[in-house]
A and B are shown apart, each in its own frame.
Chain A
Amino acid sequence: MQQTSLISGKNSFAEEVGVALRECTPVVLGVVPFGITCGIMGLTAQLSGFETILMSVLVFAGASQFIGITMLGAGITGWGIIVLTTLLVNLRHLIMGSSLAPYMIKLPLPLQAFMAFFLTDEAYALTISRIPKTGYSVLYQVTVSTTLYLVWVLATVTGVFLGSYISDPLTWGLDFAMPATFLVLLIPMLASRISLIVFGIAAVVSVFGALYLPGKWYIIVACLTASLIGGLLEGDSNHAK
């Protein structure tokens, strides 16, 4: 039982790691410009190189690091407001954690606690879209998550050391790599009528939310609304049978 959940299907340990590394490469490449930008921003906001890198090592959450660094750079040094903003920006992870919970709660507690530290948008997207294909795999999630972590930290270090020599890589449009890879994960999911409805609602609500709500609330509101309606529609069609 433990064996089947650790490595899905009949893949061997090495094959599973290989598949995970191959599938996460494009996403990892998309993370690099953000990490470099994070390093550059830290120095611009008068953080020391060590402080900037420590933040990537411990917090490991791109969006909230950008916001935290910007606030520090703007002279906001009260810890309460920065920590509260970080909490709000990262609340979406609660939804991702719930989504993975049916697979993860059977695992030993220390392993869960370890894997939770590395739960990012990217690791979640890759792990959840693999489940319909080959089932849930701990090894896949761990490989993808730790690779993203190492690259995030190394990219921040690169930004800190090269910051004064290179211009901000996000102005080159490299940040487009992120939505592009998410598109490849999303499109195969849109196979049913309900999924298309959920997609439509999430698209409309997230755009309005991004226009009128502060911070990252648009992700949380759009996700809760659209997935709730999806669940209700699913319930109706089950009753009709």
Chain B
Amino acid sequence: MRSEVLVIIIGMTLVTYFTRFGALALFRFTGIPTWLNRWLKYVPVAILTALIIPSLLLPQGYLDISLNNHYLIAGITAAFVAYKSRNIIATLGLGMSVMLILKLL
């Protein structure tokens, strides 16, 4: 165990924990302002969208809207199955199957 690596890992641990606990620690003392409450209502939709859409449209880091983008094709399939079934197993099963078939082709 090298000491400079240990210092880096501990530093990463501390700042990561700060980001996870910071908001809770602050609002525990101040309470949550009403204007913020209204803002927070749409955070789940916004954050899930921001996690999903770029990973489908830019899987390699550049914009790829074509039939060669397997993530996009499998993503459209998964979105359709998710809309129809609301079922994680069905969505994941069909999405991953499409992904695998495209990889093998």
Contact = CB atoms under 8 A, between A and B. Distances in A.
Interface in B58-95: 58, 61-63, 70-71, 74-75, 78-79, 82-83, 86-89, 91-92, 95
Given A180-B74, A180-B78, A96 B47 contact: yes
B24 A97 contact: yes
A195 B34 CA distance: 20
Given A179-B56, A181-B92, A228-B39, A222 B50 contact: yes
B36 interface: yes
Interface string A4-39: 000000000000000000010010011000000000
A226 B46 contact: yes
Interface in B14-44: 14-24, 27-28, 32, 35-44
A240 interface: no
Given A101-B24, A180-B78, A210 B54 contact: yes
A128 to B, nearest CB: 5
A234 B71 CA distance: 33
Contact of A180 (B45, B61, B91): B91
Contacts of B54: 206-207, 209-210, 218
A151 interface: no
Interface of A: 23, 26, 29-30, 47-48, 50-51, 54-55, 58-61, 64-65, 68, 72, 77, 79, 82-84, 86-87, 90-102, 104-105, 109, 112-113, 116-117, 119, 121, 124-125, 128-129, 172-190, 194-195, 198-199, 201-203, 205-207, 209-211, 218-219, 222-228, 230-231, 234-235
B48 A185 contact: yes
B86 A184 contact: yes
Given A184-B91, A227-B46, A207 B58 contact: yes
A207 B95 contact: no
Interface of B: 1-2, 4-24, 27-28, 32, 35-58, 61-63, 70-71, 74-75, 78-79, 82-83, 86-89, 91-92, 95-96, 99-100, 102-103
B26 to A, nearest CB: 8
Given A101-B24, A184-B82, A222-B46, 9 more contacts: A26-B92, A84-B15, A86-B11, A105-B32, A188-B86, A202-B53, A207-B53, A218-B50, A225-B46
Contacts of B28: 105, 109, 112
B41 to A, nearest CB: 6
Shortest 6 CB-CB distances between A and B: which pairs? A230-B42, A97-B23, A202-B49, A83-B11, A116-B21, A226-B46
A226 B52 CA distance: 15
B9 A230 contact: no
B87 A184 contact: yes
22 contacts: A54-B9, A55-B12, A58-B13, A61-B16, A82-B11, A83-B12, A90-B20, A91-B19, A96-B47, A99-B40, A101-B24, A176-B70, A176-B96, A179-B51, A183-B75, A183-B78, A199-B49, A207-B63, A209-B54, A210-B58, A227-B45, A228-B39
A30 to B, nearest CB: 8
Given A58-B10, A97-B20, A183-B78, A177 B96 contact: yes
